Amino acid sequence: MPGRNIPRKYAEAFFLLAEKTDGTKAILNDLESLVGLLRQMPTLLSFLESPDVGQQEKLKFLESSLRERVKETTWLFLTLLLKRKRVALLPEILSEYVAIDEERRGIQRIRIISAVSLDRGEEELLTSTLRRITGKKVLAETRVDPTILGGVIVYLNGKVIDGSMRCRLEELKDQLLGAPAE
């Protein structure tokens, strides 16, 4: 899909700039604030994306309301996004920025879905195993989904490791239905 990597490219460029100027953490705070503001005030995004409002008017508004609240690097980045009509990409740029930051710090996010709530020991065993496999610090987000019947499903780097009972039963069903009749 064309355009899918656009937020990543902006985030990479902004991250490199942040490393050389204000620091990645300070810029991350600015980005989180801006995205939070856009989520709280959807009319602000509509205003900034509106073809009926002139570029200068948008810049004046942003300057009067935001310029003093963000780092100069963030301000310049925001004006670039405005000029290129990419302000609506800010939430995706933030997600990519966080992903880049975590990659650089050796952090791997995973999602674990289990049929029942995992106790602390089970979660630690799973995350320590994944830490050994990935060689990275693992941040786990857990969720309970009783429809998987048992076991766990792990989402890691765009891959799915399905150790659920539901999956095993479906595999067994496929084997039984696909077996030749005697």
Domains of the chain: 6-102 (1.10.520.20), 106-164 (no CATH)
pTM metric for this prediction: 0.75
Cα Rg of the chain (Å, integer): 23
Instruction: Measure the CA–CA gap between 34 and 30, rounded to whole angstroms.
Output: 6
Average pLDDT over the chain, rounded to whole?
91
List, in order, residues 6 or more apart from 141 with CB less than 8 Å away.
Answer: 109, 110, 111, 112
pLDDT attached to residue 62 = 92
Report pLDDT digits (tens) over 85-98. 999 999 999 999 99
For residue 15, what are the CA distances in angstroms to 83, 99, 109? 20, 11, 19
Report pLDDT digits (tens) over 45-73. 999 999 999 999 999 999 999 999 999 99
